[in-house]
């Protein structure tokens, strides 16, 4: 029996590439392919039927950045970094994806969350990916916002300040609107992230406030799409049940941020949660329901295509991604 040693593997690989390995491994000369490298990803969208509805997950890109101090408030940074590295994220860093959802009900074309907006570096890819998916922004009938954090609302406008979805009714949770548009609460907000969130909400909505519809929980925001109280991440944070016939999916929005950290560890407090204790309680409530009903779940910060099932794992949970299906 022969074993493939590292030296023999490297020599064989180099030979296959047209390279020369000198005796003793002193030098390796590689020959590049003649075709230029692309340097960019393919468009990102994924479709699935929900009964008679058609759902399209459209990636807005992702961001990878060094884990900030206090990213998880109630465990050590070393422990949080270890969890990220166990999920094969770059050492000392975290990767956060962004995934808006389009639901075609047959009567309405509904966008749930508008993403980061253009010119957002490795994020802000919603518009080109909508185009690749054959979805015209002018055809969107309703834009439903789950909560008023910048990565969900900035895409409502173009960089020039025009409405990105000019024919759409814009709907936001009434509780979140009351909170982020409250001058007294903004005045008391600490400098930094929270203050920036108040400013972002005002920048997006200040000149279109009269065009915004405030919705209530437990009511439909579009045919077959019902708003669910999922507060904690923000005061008005909302998830959605999308139901068509006997089929349904839970759009969990930001009940969990990065699932490898906060779905696996539902009692961890992420720095983005307005009320971390309530957010943790809501994670258990939502995921217990999803697991018991074996519901399909999609998450704004789940790895693309961001669809799967949630299973209980003791006091924790795990995400079981769907198998990519080439048919709709």
Nearest CA among 112, 129, 110, 158 for reference residue 58 = 129
Please check whether residue 153 is in contact with residue 112, taking contact to mean a CB–CB distance below 8 angstroms: no
Provide the residue-wise pLDDT of the chain in tens; the chain has 328 residues.
Answer: 455 555 554 455 544 444 454 445 555 555 566 888 888 888 999 999 999 999 999 999 999 999 999 999 999 999 999 999 999 999 999 999 999 999 999 999 999 999 999 989 999 999 999 999 999 999 999 999 999 999 999 999 999 999 999 999 999 999 999 999 999 999 999 999 999 999 999 999 999 999 999 999 999 999 999 999 999 999 999 999 999 999 999 999 999 999 999 999 999 999 999 999 999 999 999 999 999 999 999 999 999 999 999 999 999 999 999 999 989 8
Residue 245: strand pairing partners: none
Nearest CA among 212, 95, 91, 236 for reference residue 156 = 212
Structure tokens, 12? 């064989």
Structure tokens, 319? 């995400």
d(CA 257, CA 268): 11
pTM score:
0.90
d(CA 131, CA 136): 6
């Amino acid at each position: 029996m022969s074993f493939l040693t590292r030296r023999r593997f490297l020599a064989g690989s180099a030979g296959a590439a047209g390279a020369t390995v000198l005796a003793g491994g002193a030098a390796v000369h590689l020959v590049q392919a003649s075709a230029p490298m692309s340097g960019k990803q393919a468009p990102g969208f994924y479709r699935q039927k929900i009964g008679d509805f058609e759902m399209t997950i459209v990636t807005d890109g992702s961001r990878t950045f060094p884990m900030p101090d206090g990213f998880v408030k109630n465990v050590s940074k070393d422990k949080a970094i270890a969890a990220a590295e166990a999920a094969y994220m770059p050492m000392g860093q975290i990767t956060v994806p962004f995934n808006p959802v389009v639901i075609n009900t047959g009567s309405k074309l509904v966008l749930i969350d508008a993403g980061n907006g253009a010119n957002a570096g490795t994020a802000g890819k919603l518009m080109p990916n909508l185009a690749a998916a054959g979805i015209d922004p002018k055809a969107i009938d309703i834009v439903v916002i789950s909560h008023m954090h910048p990565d969900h609302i900035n895409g409502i406008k173009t960089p020039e300040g025009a409405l990105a979805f000019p024919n759409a009714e814009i709907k936001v949770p009434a509780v979140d609107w009351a909170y982020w548009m409250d001058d007294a609460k903004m005045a008391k907000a600490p400098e930094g992230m929270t203050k920036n969130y108040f400013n972002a909400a005002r920048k997006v909505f200040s000149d279109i406030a009269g065009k915004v519809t405030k919705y209530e929980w437990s009511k439909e925001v579009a045919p077959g799409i019902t708003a669910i109280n999922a507060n904690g991440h923000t005061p008005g944070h909302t998830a959605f049940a999308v139901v068509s016939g006997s089929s349904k999916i839970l759009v969990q929005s930001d009940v969990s941020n990065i699932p490898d950290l906060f779905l696996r560890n539902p009692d961890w407090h992420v720095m983005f949660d307005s009320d971390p204790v309530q957010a943790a309680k809501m994670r258990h409530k939502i995921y217990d329901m999803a697991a018991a009903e074996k519901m399909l779940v999609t998450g704004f910060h789940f790895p693309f295509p961001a669809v799967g099932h949630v299973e209980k794992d003791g006091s924790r949970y795990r995400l079981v991604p769907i198998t990519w299906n080439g048919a709709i």
